[in-house]
Structures are given as C-alpha cells and as structure tokens.
Amino acid sequence: MKSSSLRLFLLMTGLMVLPSGVLPLSAQQPKDSAVEEKRLLQVLRSDAPAAQKAITCKELAIHGSGAAVPDLAKLLPNPQLSSWSRIALEAIPGEQSDAALRQAAESLRGQLLVGVINSIGVRRDKKAVPILIARLQDGDLEVAAAAAVAMGRIADDEATLALQKALPMVSAELKSSVAEACVLAAEYRLLNGQKQKAAEVYDQVRNADVPIQRIVEATRGAILARDQEGVPLLIQTLRSKEKKLRQLALATVREFPGDRIDTALAAELNEASPERAVFIIQAMADRPQTVVLPAILSAVREGKPMVQAAAIDSLRRVGDESCLPILLTVATGDNTELKEIAKSTLAELPGEGVNQRIAMMLSSAKAGENALLLHLIAQRRVDAVPQVVQALSSADSTIRHAALVALGQTVSLDRLSLLLEAVVQPGNSADSEVASRALRAASVRMPDREACAKQLAMAMKKAAPAKRTTLLEILAEVGGDTALAEVSAAAMSADLQLQDDGSRLLGKWNSVEAAPSLMRLALSGASSKYRVRGMRGYIGVARKFPMPESQRVEMCQQAFEKASRTDEQKLVLEVLKIHPSLEGLSLAVQAQKVPAVKADATVAASMIAQKLGGKGVDVAAIIAAGGMKPVTLKIISAAYGAGNVKKDVTAVITKHAGNLPWVKLPDNSYNASFGGDPVPGKVKQLSIRYVMNGKQGEASFGENSPILLPQPK
C-alpha cells in the first residue's frame, strides 16, 4: 500500500492516536519542506477525498510557502475545507497569504467571511484595515464584530482612529465588540509606552454606553496607563457602588506599581465598612514589599472580629517580630476562633528576628503564655535550649510537657543527655511518655546518627528493663551500624524481653546490611518464633532493596535451602517473580522439584519467563530441564497487531507449537517471526486461542514476550 493510501486508510478507519512521526507530518524522515510541499500540492490538486485534503492543509501549515497559497485560497469558499485551509494560510508567512485573505475578505459572506477576518486579525495585516473599516458597516453583525476585533488586534493608528470614531456611532449590538477592539488597541499603545494615548482610548470606552465588562477592562487600563496618577481613580473605583468595579479595583491593587497605593489603602481602611475592610486587608497583604504594616496591626487591635480575623491571617504573609506581642495577646485571649487563627499565624510569622524574640519572651513570659511560647519554639525550631531547660522544672505538667516537646525538636547531640535522662530517670512518672516521644523525635533528626546511637546504647546499659524496649525501638529508628549491632545483640541475648524486642525490630530492619544478622537469627534464634522472624526479615531484604540480581538470587537460594517451612519458601518464589532474572528463573525451575511448592514454582517460572520477554532470553531449555510435563496442544487461532489492525498468524504459531505449553518462534522478534510489522510504531499484542489437554483457553502476550501458554481451568 502506498504511503498516501495508507494514510487515507488510517484516517477513514478511525485513527485516534498517532505515534509521533508515523503520520502525517515530518517527524522522522521528511525534513525538506520544498520536497514536501510539492507532494502535498499534488494531493490538493488531485481528486483526493476531502478528508485527505484536510490533513494535507495541516501539513502545508508547516511545509507550505507562497507557492501553496493559490491552491489553499481556492478552498476558502468550501464550507468543509475553509477552516483547514486557514490553518495553513494563517501559518505561512509572507504577503501571498495576506493578499489571499484580503481578497477573500472582499468576496466571501457569512461565517466563512468571519473566519477569514479572524485570520486577518491574527496575522495583524495592516493593509487589510481599509477592508475591515468597510466591513464595520456590514449588515451581518457577526461580520462587523469580527472586523472590529481584527482592527483592535492590528491596532495601527488608522484602525484605532476608525474604532474610536465608530464607538459612539455603531448600533447597540455592535458596541461591545467595538469597545473590546478599542481596549485591545489601547493596550497595544500602553505596552509600547504610549500611555497618554492609551489612557485617552480607555477613558473613551469607560465613559461610553457599553456593557459593564467593557467598562471594567477600560477602567483597569485607565488606572494603569496613568501610573502613579492613577491612584485616585483606583481608590474611586474601590468605592464604586458597582460590584464588578469594586472587584476590579481589588485585583488592580495587586498589580499596581509603587507604594503610593499602599498609603492610600491604609487610609481607606479607616473609612471602610467591615465587609470592605476584610477585602482591603487581603489586598494589602498581597503587597508584602510596600504594605503599611501599622494599619494592619491597628485592625488587629481595634477592628470588628471579622476584620481582626482577616488582619491576623494576613500577618502570616506580611508580619514581623513587631507583631508578636499583639498576636500572643490574641492567642491567649478569650475569642476561641481568633485564638486559633493567631496561633496558626504565629507558627508561620515571617521575619528574621521572630525566633530570637520568642526565645527572649520565654524568660519573662506572663502566666498562660509559657506553654504557647514553648509550643512555638517546637514548631519553629527556635534555638532556646537554656530557656527551655528552665521550664523542665516547672510544677505545671503542661509546661513541663511542652518543654520536653520543644527539646525534642531543638536539642543538639551534645545536649541529648537531657532527654535521655528524662527517659531513663524521669523526675515525674507522668512525663515518661512525653519524654520518650521527644527523645525519638530528637534522635532521628541527629546528623551524626552513629554518635547518637552510641549515646542511646550507653543509656540502655543503665536503663530499667521497661525503658530498654523504648531505647531499642528508638535505636531501630535511628538505624546505622551501631544501632544494628545493638539490636542484633539484643535479639541473640539471653534476656527474654530483649530477644523478643530485638528479633521484632531486626525483622523489620530497613537496610541490606541487616542480612547476615537476620540469617543468623533465622538459624540460631532462641525459639522458632524468632527464627521465623529472622527468615522473613532476610527474605524481605532480598525483596525490597536494590542489589545486583546475582546477589539477590544467591540470597534467595540461601533462604530457600535454609527455610524450615514451605511458607517462607513460597515467599522466596514471590521475590523471584518481583525481580525476574535468568538466574531467578533457573532457581524457580529447580524449585519445581520440591513437591510442596511445585505449583507455586511453576507459576513463578512462567511469570518470570513472561517478564524476561523481549530481552533475547532463551528460556525453553531451562523450562524443559525443570521437568515441565508434555501436553496435547491445538492452536485455534492467533492474531498479532494493535487496535483494529490485526494480522492472522495462526499458521506460524501452529507450526512452532509442540507438546509443551511453550511456543518457540524462529526469532525472538515477533515482527521477524510473523513476516513484518503490521502496525509500525505502535505497541502490539499477540492473542492466541487454543485447546490444551482438552480445555479451551486464550492468552495474550506483549510484543516479543516468551509464549508460555497457561493450562486452562
């Protein structure tokens, strides 16, 4: 099939997904646009179906030149192909495309004319302005509106002046489009530094009898075009009775340059109703570089609750250390909701001096503030250990507990002993659990985990039995060589509790380094329960961690041979399935000789063989060596392909099927075996229907996978 015919065939049969480069453009081979253009023009000039001409237009958008324009222009009056033609004409640079569109703009009517005018606007063809001015008078409202907007996009002096003149003259139905065009033209001037001219056009629109949205757009432009002189208009807009304009002002505040507007907003806050003040505060807080902070603090102190809430919340973006006293007052006050907002703001309050100030405040805190400050020290990780330590001796358990939590978040390795002592020899038994949690939080974040583990190990030696479990658990979370050695020793110790704790923690160890200790536990643990923990932990290591496949299979081999129960042997087979390798397949095949796991081993071998597909692995011999039983096999049908495009490969499959549930093709590549690629560039599947040992089955295989047919149930 010729490429063009194939292309059409695919289009007409519902092509939905095209791998890049397959169709229809120049993704892989065709890079020479001149050559491509000639080929494409032949299609346009032929009696090819409209579908093919349509896609050809798209290709010409990339490869076409002025030479293609006449043929494309002929399609502009065609209702089916006009839009396709404009895809190319809009994209092809040069005067020829502009001229063709201008010519069409003078001859076409209705929707097709609207499309052509839209394309002229996209190309910003100044030569078309006289035609567009004429079309402003068109009796077809859609045509006139399109012409106006195209003029707004072109935005040269001729077009802009014509739009300004037209605005008061045109019908009410057309006013919105002309105003839209004026705003576009004004924006063009604003972007090009012609602020005064831009403001003039914006002002004309905002004072015209046009829909509110056009006034919104023009007002925004009028404010921005005036630069700092636009502040009064912005504030006036903020006070507007029209909701849309108030909303506009709130948005424009956020993009307005300079700091004059901040001062104006601070003043406005005093005049605003609570409802408006909330929105003004939110806008002020979105200007962190220039915000007038005292005005917001004043709102925190004196505003209505809704204003206070907004002001407190805004401080998380624009506050600093000067806000701490008032926030602490609110956070320890009576208003439940404001308290929560203040606490949350305190946790995030920006400013370099905030943490230092919090530490200082703890020393002289009022009653009721201590716990909050300690909580903040923990949340913000404030370096204030000396002040926190003082709080450990408080008679108030709430303060002591808050201090312990704060230490957990802030203490460094050289002061870890504070928390170790609190765990091993608590001054108050009520603090024990909190201290343990704090020690855990501190330990896992220590940069030098070996040094941390050594301190924990030392503490274990003098700890009461109940505390040793806690310390051992923390050691396991810390990890590393020292911790592993301690936990391993505990698992193999004579102490019953340590055996239990150690084997439990070792069984869940999260690194490859634990493998030898786990195998030792698996073989020599004090009880079968611990030996199972060891073996399962060992298999888990093989399952979870990256390592060379040969090492993984060796671990699996060890585990399979040493496992005393079939449950663990089956887990080994699971590992082999998750990490398929040739060595693993060999092990799975060997495992088929163990009757208790034969069925699982067969499944594992099949799955591994499937996953090794496409890698050129010859697995037939390995499977045969495993003693796979002969079967009676009949192939009913086989198809190879993708989507709706399938090739019948029944004969090839039948020829190579034997008396094993295994079909060995002449080549590892399906395409080579089946005489070519039926759907180039797409991922294909092989589907086989068959009868095995009298039972009908069906199986599918990814491209180039080994064909191992399952026994139908």
Partner 1 sequence: MLRKSGDAAALENQSSRRQFLKKSAATAGVAISAPTIIPSSALGLDGAVAPSERIVVGGIGIGRRGGYDLGCFLQQKDVQFVAVCDIKQKRRDAVKKQVDAHHSNDKCATYRDFRELLDRSDIDAVLIATGPNWHATAAMTAAKSGKDMYCEKPVTKNISQSLILADTMRRTSRVFQAGTQRRNLPHFAFACELARTGKLGKLKKVYAHPAGMQAMMSGWLVPETEPDAELVDWNMYLGPAAWRPFNKKLLDGFNFEKGGGLVGGGVLEWGSHCVDLCQWAVNDCPPPVEYNAPKDGELVAKYENGTELIFREKGWIPLGSCPVRFEGEDGWVEAGDSGKMVLSSPELLAGREVEEIGGYPATFHVRDFLDCVKSRRQPKGNAVAACNAHIACHAANIALHLGRQVKYDNVNHEFIDDEQANRLRSEALREPWRL
**Residue numbers 201-220 binding partner 1 by CB under 8 A:** 211-213, 216-217, 220
Taking the C-alpha atoms of residue 469 and residue 477, their distance in angstroms, rounded to an integer, is 13
Nearest approach in angstroms of CB 160 to partner 1 is: 16
Nearest approach in angstroms of CB 28 to partner 1 is: 6
Nearer residue to partner 1 within complex by CB, 152 or 626: 152
Nearest approach in angstroms of CB 545 to partner 1 is: 6
Any contact of residue 304 with partner 1 (CB under 8 A)?
A: yes
Taking the C-alpha atoms of residue 32 and residue 494, their distance in angstroms, rounded to an integer, is 81
Where in 427-466 is the site for partner 1 (CB under 8 A)?
437, 440-441, 444-445, 447, 449
Taking the C-alpha atoms of residue 550 and residue 555, their distance in angstroms, rounded to an integer, is 9
Part in contact with partner 1 (CB under 8 A); list of ranges 61-69, 202-210, 531-539, 691-699: 61-69
Nearest approach in angstroms of CB 296 to partner 1 is: 15
3-class DSSP assignment, residue 530: helix
Length of the chain: 713
- Site size for partner 1, by CB under 8 A? 111
Structure tokens at 137: 């008078």
Nearest approach in angstroms of CB 473 to partner 1 is: 13
Structure tokens at 427: 């001054």
User: Which H or E element spans position 701?
Assistant: strand 695-702
Among 546, 548, 616, 676, binds partner 1 (CB under 8 A): 546
Nearest approach in angstroms of CB 450 to partner 1 is: 12
Where in 146-175 is the site for partner 1 (CB under 8 A)?
146, 149
Across 273-430, the runs of DSSP E, i.e. the strands, are: none
Taking the C-alpha atoms of residue 521 and residue 34, their distance in angstroms, rounded to an integer, is 75
Nearer residue to partner 1 within complex by CB, 546 or 616: 546
Nearer residue to partner 1 within complex by CB, 36 or 501: 36
Nearer residue to partner 1 within complex by CB, 3 or 425: 3
Any contact of residue 77 with partner 1 (CB under 8 A)?
A: no
- The closest of 164, 169, 158, 128 to 146, measured between CA atoms, is 128
Structure tokens at 33: 């646009």
Nearer residue to partner 1 within complex by CB, 164 or 219: 219
Part in contact with partner 1 (CB under 8 A); list of ranges 299-307, 515-523, 531-539, 695-703: 299-307
Nearer residue to partner 1 within complex by CB, 51 or 699: 51
Nearer residue to partner 1 within complex by CB, 53 or 652: 53
Nearer residue to partner 1 within complex by CB, 166 or 478: 478
Nearer residue to partner 1 within complex by CB, 282 or 671: 282
Among 4, 39, 58, 485, binds partner 1 (CB under 8 A): 58
Among 40, 41, 43, 61, binds partner 1 (CB under 8 A): 61
Among 66, 77, 274, 426, binds partner 1 (CB under 8 A): 274
Where in 86-125 is the site for partner 1 (CB under 8 A)?
86-87, 89-93, 111-112, 114-116, 118-119, 121-122
Taking the C-alpha atoms of residue 148 and residue 163, their distance in angstroms, rounded to an integer, is 7
Taking the C-alpha atoms of residue 382 and residue 354, their distance in angstroms, rounded to an integer, is 9
Q: Tell me which DSSP letter residue 512 carries.
A: G
Among 205, 309, 358, 635, binds partner 1 (CB under 8 A): 309
Nearer residue to partner 1 within complex by CB, 50 or 496: 50
Residue 24 preceded by cis peptide, ω within 30? yes
Taking the C-alpha atoms of residue 7 and residue 15, their distance in angstroms, rounded to an integer, is 9
Nearest approach in angstroms of CB 185 to partner 1 is: 12
Where in 394-413 is the site for partner 1 (CB under 8 A)?
405-406, 408-409
3-class DSSP assignment, residue 658: coil
- The closest of 409, 413, 410 to 446, measured between CA atoms, is 413
Whether the CB-CB separation of 450 and 486 falls below 8 Å is answered with no
- Given its phi and psi angles, is residue 381 left (phi above 0), alpha (psi -120 to 50 degrees) or beta? left
Part in contact with partner 1 (CB under 8 A); list of ranges 160-168, 518-526, 544-552, 656-664: 544-552
Nearer residue to partner 1 within complex by CB, 406 or 591: 406
Taking the C-alpha atoms of residue 21 and residue 28, their distance in angstroms, rounded to an integer, is 5
Where in 311-340 is the site for partner 1 (CB under 8 A)?
313, 337-338
Nearest approach in angstroms of CB 386 to partner 1 is: 19
Site string for partner 1, 654-693 (x = CB under 8 A): ----------------------------------------
Taking the C-alpha atoms of residue 696 and residue 612, their distance in angstroms, rounded to an integer, is 26
Half-sphere exposure of 713 (CA within 13 A, CB side): 0
Nearer residue to partner 1 within complex by CB, 323 or 649: 323
Whether the CB-CB separation of 405 and 377 falls below 8 Å is answered with no
Any contact of residue 510 with partner 1 (CB under 8 A)?
A: yes
Nearest approach in angstroms of CB 254 to partner 1 is: 7
Half-sphere exposure of 256 (CA within 13 A, CB side): 33
Residues 6+ apart with CB under 8 A from 271: none
Whether the CB-CB separation of 474 and 504 falls below 8 Å is answered with no
Where in 372-391 is the site for partner 1 (CB under 8 A)?
375, 378-381
Where in 214-253 is the site for partner 1 (CB under 8 A)?
216-217, 220-221, 244, 247-248, 250-252
Any contact of residue 557 with partner 1 (CB under 8 A)?
A: no
Among 1, 34, 79, 465, binds partner 1 (CB under 8 A): 79
Taking the C-alpha atoms of residue 12 and residue 1, their distance in angstroms, rounded to an integer, is 15
Taking the C-alpha atoms of residue 303 and residue 221, their distance in angstroms, rounded to an integer, is 33
Residue with tokens 């009721």: 368
Nearer residue to partner 1 within complex by CB, 89 or 572: 89
Q: What is the largest CA-CA distance in the chain?
A: 102
Nearest approach in angstroms of CB 220 to partner 1 is: 5
Nearer residue to partner 1 within complex by CB, 30 or 712: 30
Site string for partner 1, 335-364 (x = CB under 8 A): --xx--x--x--xx----------------
Residues 6+ apart with CB under 8 A from 580: 607, 608, 611, 612
Whether the CB-CB separation of 506 and 533 falls below 8 Å is answered with yes
Nearest approach in angstroms of CB 403 to partner 1 is: 11
